A = this chain, B = another copy of it.
């Protein structure tokens, strides 16, 4: 391969910087391209009705470790992470395509196990697998899923449309998937050093389950529809709460105040964190893969939220000059910084 004379390392930009750089000159040519690169999903207008498209690439050794990831769970999760992006646009997923790169160390039985998980997710979420591609891979298992969904005209919710004074909210609880990963990585290390030793992971079922078999928040989108709630901005939490909050602030040109004590963290997550002498708040802020929804909402709609105990109000949006702040339990104010999983530095 011929290389240009100047060389800029990709890691110097980070994933989002890289995407911004590569897509900076895009001018959309089709009137049907309503929303392009830079949100959870693209929005395509088909004769007045709107289609959502989202895609993810999962690579063995980077995104998952087959030593402790059952193939059925991996198939399930590969679908979920894409459905989550469609829900994050306030849409309903309807179809997926699935492409796989497979090395010859995989048997047909192993692939069948993977597909069992794929079909289980499709059935649970009511989506159809409608296409894909299979290819050989020289090394490692490669999974590419594209999800397609529908949204009523102009009911999609983007990241950059939060308003000053809006409530900052999230679904479910945070930080668990990261602790599941910490546990499994430790067990892997112990197993590799002393293959006879089998750990007792019974007590960590919750956090490990959150990592290996996440769910997408279909229920929240259905709740919004039922209660006629329209978030002003929304995205899913895949890289950690702080990183996602910074996206909403940057794209909406706003600041925010986040209250540490309001961040929802499960008891199981807290006790798992303490075992590793980790701060549960740091796990929620910087851990990833929770696949919860982060959204902003006009305060006028606040009372509708009390019907749903799966939703927490964790802060509010401010003018940009006030910065992006977290108020700790001790009452201190700090800047929120993105220390989420970075695809180009983590586990590199």
With a cutoff of 8 Å between Cβ atoms, the chain B residues found around residue A42 in the complex are 95, 97, 130-131
Contact B32 A95 (CB under 8 A): yes
Contact with B along A208-240 (1 / 0, CB 8 A): 000000000000000000000000000000000
Contact A18 B144 (CB under 8 A): no
A278 within 8 A of B: no
With a cutoff of 8 Å between Cβ atoms, the chain B residues found around residue A70 in the complex are 2
When the two chains form the complex, which single residue of B8, B107, B134 contacts A15, counting CB atoms closer than 8 Å?
Answer: B134
Contact A107 B7 (CB under 8 A): yes
Contact A136 B30 (CB under 8 A): no
Contact B22 A97 (CB under 8 A): no
Contact A53 B99 (CB under 8 A): no
With a cutoff of 8 Å between Cβ atoms, the chain B residues found around residue A29 in the complex are 122-123, 126-128
When the two chains form the complex, which single residue of B25, B61, B104, B126 contacts A348, counting CB atoms closer than 8 Å?
Answer: B104
With a cutoff of 8 Å between Cβ atoms, the chain B residues found around residue A133 in the complex are 55-57
Contact B109 A30 (CB under 8 A): no
Oligomeric state, in copies: 2
A199 within 8 A of B: no
Contact B138 A59 (CB under 8 A): yes
In Å, the complex CA distance between A123 and B56 comes to 24
Contact B25 A136 (CB under 8 A): no
In Å, the complex CA distance between A129 and B59 comes to 22
Contact B13 A108 (CB under 8 A): yes
A197 within 8 A of B: no
- Also in contact, A129 and B37, with CB within 8 A (given A10-B108, A71-B1): yes
When the two chains form the complex, which single residue of B47, B123, B148, B343 contacts A53, counting CB atoms closer than 8 Å?
Answer: B148
Query: Which A positions have Cβ atoms within 8 angstroms of B?
Result: 1-4, 6-13, 15, 18-19, 21-23, 25-26, 28-30, 32-33, 35-37, 39, 41-42, 44, 46-47, 49, 51, 53-63, 66-67, 70-71, 94-95, 97, 99-102, 104, 106-113, 115, 119, 122-123, 126-140, 142, 144, 146, 148, 150, 343-344, 348
